[in-house]
A and B are shown apart, each in its own frame.
Chain A
Amino acid sequence: MARILEFTLNGRQRVDAVADNLLLLDYLREVVGLTGTKTGCDGGECGACTVLVDDCPRLSCLTLAASVQKRRVETVEGLGADGRLSAVQRGFHEKLGSQCGYCTPGFIMASVGLLRRNPHPSDDDIRQGLGSNICRCTGYVKIIEAVKFAATLNQAGVAP
Chain B
Amino acid sequence: MNEMVPAHTIGAYVPMVDGPDKVSGRAKYTADLIAPGMLAGRIYRSPYAHGEIIRVDTSAALALPGVKAIVTGADCDKTFGVLPIARSEHPLARDKVRYRGEPVAAVAAVDDATAKKAVSLIRLEVRKLPALYTCRQAMAPDAGDIHAHRTHNIERDVLFELGNVEAGFAEADLVREGSYNCAEVCQNQMEMHAAVADYDAERDRMTVHASTQVPYYVHLMLAQILDMDMSRIRVIKPHVGGGFGCRTETLNVELIAALLARRTGGCVRMVINREETFITHRGRPETDIRLKLGMRRDGRITAVECECHQRGGAHSGYGVVTILYAGSMLYAIYDLHNVKYLGKRLMTNTPPCGAFRGHGTVDIRFAFESLLDQIADELGLDPIAVRRANYLTAPTFTDNDLMVSSYGLPECVDWVERESCWRTRRGKLPKGKGLGFACSHYISGASKPVNWTGEPHATVKIKLDFDGSIVVLSGAADIGQGSSTILVQTVGEVLGLDLSRIRVVTGDSELVPKDNGSYSSRVTFMVGNAAIDAARNLRQVLVTAAARKLEAKPEEIECLGELYRAGAQDRGLTFNEVVTEALKDNGTITVTGNYSTIPESHGGKKYRGAAIGGTMGYSYSAQVVEVSVDEETGVVNVDKVWVAHDCGKALNRLTVEGQVQGSVWMGMGQAMSEETAYHEGLLVTGNMLDYRVPTIQDSPPIEVGIIESNDPHGPFGAKEAGEGSLAAFLPALTNAIADAIGVRFNDLPVTPDRVFAVLEKRRRAGNGRRREASRDA
Check if B688 is an interface residue, CB within 8 A of chain A. yes
Contact of A101 among B15, B241, B244, B274 (CB under 8 A): B241
B486: min CB distance to chain A, Å:
13
CB of A58 closer than 8 Å to a CB of B:
no
The smallest C-beta distance from A135 to any residue of chain B, in angstroms, reads 7
CA of A154 to CA of B109, assembled, Å: 48
Say yes or no: B696 contacts A77, CB within 8 Å.
no
- Complex Cα gap A143–B695 (Å): 12
Residue in B closest to A44 when the chains form the complex, CB atoms: B689
Chain B minimum-CB-distance residue to A90: B23
Looking across the interface, which residue of chain A has its beta carbon closest to that of B478?
A100
Is there contact, CB below 8 Å, between B23 and A93? yes
The answer on a CB contact under 8 Å between A102 and B697 is no
Given A35-B34, A42-B274, A100-B479, the answer on whether A135 and B190 have CB atoms closer than 8 Å is yes
In the assembled complex, which residues on chain B have CB atoms less than 8 Å from the CB atom of A90?
A: 23
Bin chain B's interface residue count. 35 or more
Q: Contact check, B24 vs A46: say whether CB atoms are below 8 A apart.
A: no
Assess whether A113 is interfacial by the CB under 8 Å rule: no
- A127 to chain B: closest CB distance in Å? 5
Residues of the A chain whose Cβ atoms lie less than 8 Å from the Cβ of B22 = 92-93, 98, 100-101, 104
A45 within 8 A of B: yes
Asked if A40 and B242 make an inter-chain contact with CB atoms under 8 angstroms apart, the answer reads: no
| Residue B527 CB within 8 A of the other chain | no
**Nearest chain-B residue to A106 (Cβ)?**
B190
Cα distance A134–B698 when bound, in Å?
11
Residues on the A chain within 8 Å of B240, using CB:
100
User: Which of A93, A102, A132, A138 has a CB less than 8 Å from the CB of B661?
Assistant: A138
* Cross-chain contact B687 with A45 (CB below 8 angstroms): yes
Stretch of B287-295, B411-419, B590-598, B651-659 contacting A (4+ beta carbons < 8 Å): B651-659
The segment out of B25-33, B197-205, B347-355 that lies at the interface is B25-33
Residue pair A100, B20 in contact (C-beta under 8 Å)? no
Interface residue ranges of B233-280 to A (CB < 8 Å): 239-242, 244, 271, 273-275
* Residue A94, interface by CB 8 Å: yes
Q: Is the CB of B661 within 8 A of A139?
A: yes
Q: A101 to chain B: closest CB distance in Å? A: 3
Q: State whether A100 touches B242 (Cβ < 8 A).
A: yes
Chain B residues contacting A75 (CB-CB under 8 Å) are 25
Chain A, residue nearest B244 (CB) = A136
Residue of B with least CB distance to A93: B19
Q: Is the CB of A105 within 8 A of B697?
A: no
Interface string of A24-67 (1 = CB under 8 A from B): 00000110011111111110011010000000000000000000
Interface string of B190-215 (1 = CB under 8 A from A): 11100000000000000000000000
A141 touches B695 (CB 8 A): no
Judge if B482 is at the interface, Cβ distance under 8 Å.
yes
**Known contacts A99-B480, A102-B190; A34/B25 CB under 8 A:** yes
Contact B23 A133 (CB under 8 A): no
Determine the distance from Cα of A33 to Cα of B20 in the docked complex, in whole angstroms.
Answer: 19
**Contacts A40-B190, A100-B191, A136-B190 given; does A33 touch B34 at CB 8 Å:** yes
- Which A79-136 residues have C-beta < 8 A from chain B? 79-80, 85, 89-90, 92-96, 98-105, 108, 126-128, 130-136
B701 contact set on A, CB distance < 8 A:
141
Find the A residue at minimum CB distance from B701.
Answer: A141
B34 and A29 form a contact (CB under 8 A):
yes
**For residue B23, which residues in chain A have a CB less than 8 angstroms away from its CB?**
76, 85, 89-90, 92-93, 98, 101, 104-105, 108
Please determine whether B702 and A102 come into contact, CB atoms closer than 8 angstroms: no
Q: Tell me whether A73 is interfacial, beta carbon within 8 Å.
A: no
Residues of chain B with a CB closer than 8 A to A142's CB: 657-658, 661
User: For B118, what are the chain A residues with a Cβ–Cβ distance below 8 Å?
Assistant: none
The interface size of chain A toward B, counting residues with CB under 8 Å, comes to: 55
Most chain-B Cβ atoms within 10 A of its Cβ — which of A33, A34, A100, A140?
A: A100
Binary CB contact string for chain B from 363 to 405 against chain A (1 if under 8 A, 0 otherwise): 0000000000000000000000000000000000000000000
A96 touches B654 (CB 8 A): yes
B662 close to A (CB within 8 Å): yes
Residues in A with CB closer than 8 Å to B666 are 136, 139
Nearest neighbor of A77 in chain B, beta-carbon distance: B25
- Is there an interface contact between B242 and A41, defined as CB atoms closer than 8 Å? no
**Shortest distance in angstroms between B109's beta carbon and chain A's nearest beta carbon?**
15
Cross-chain contact B697 with A48 (CB below 8 angstroms): no
Closest-by-CB residue of A relative to B688 is: A45
The CA of A49 and the CA of B281, in the complex, are separated in Å by 23
For A102, the chain B residues whose CB sits under 8 A away are 29, 189-191, 241-242, 480
- Cβ–Cβ contact A41 & B274, under 8 A: yes
B699 proximity list for chain A (CB < 8 A): 139-141
Assess whether B481 is interfacial by the CB under 8 Å rule. yes
Task: Give Cα A85 to B25, complex, Å.
Answer: 11
- Distance A35 CA – B239 CA, assembled complex (angstroms): 13
Complex contacts, A133 vs chain B, CB 8 Å = 695-696
B665 at interface, CB cutoff 8 A: yes
> Contact string, B692-709, partner A, CB cutoff 8 A, digits 1/0?
010111010110000000
Task: With CB as the reference atom, state the residue of chain A lying closest to B696.
Answer: A140
B247 CB to nearest chain A CB (Å): 11
Which chain A residues lie closer than 8 Å to B244 at the CB level? 136
| Residues of chain A lying within 8 A (CB to CB) of residue B239 | 100-101
- Is there an interface contact between A45 and B662, defined as CB atoms closer than 8 Å? no
Given A77-B25, A89-B23, A140-B665, verify A48-B15 contact (CB < 8 Å): no
Contacts of B24 in A (CB 8 A): 36, 76-77, 79-80, 85, 89
Q: A95 to B241: give the CA distance in the assembly, Å.
A: 19
Contact B274 A93 (CB under 8 A): no
**B16: interface (CB < 8 Å):** yes
Interface residues as binary, B2-29 with A (CB distance below 8 Å gives 1, 0 otherwise): 0000000000000110111111111111
B123-172 contacts to A (CB < 8 Å): none
In the bound assembly, the distance between CA atoms of A145 and B348 in angstroms comes to 44
19 A-B contacts, Cβ less than 8 Å apart?
Answer: A39-B192, A41-B192, A45-B274, A46-B688, A77-B26, A89-B23, A90-B23, A100-B22, A100-B239, A100-B241, A102-B190, A104-B22, A126-B696, A127-B696, A131-B695, A135-B696, A137-B242, A137-B662, A143-B696
Task: Give me the 9 closest cross-chain CB pairs, A-B, nearest first.
Answer: A36-B25, A100-B480, A139-B665, A102-B241, A101-B22, A35-B32, A76-B25, A45-B688, A93-B19
User: A residues touching B (Cβ–Cβ < 8 Å)?
Assistant: 29-30, 33-42, 45-46, 48, 75-77, 79-80, 85, 89-90, 92-96, 98-105, 108, 126-128, 130-144
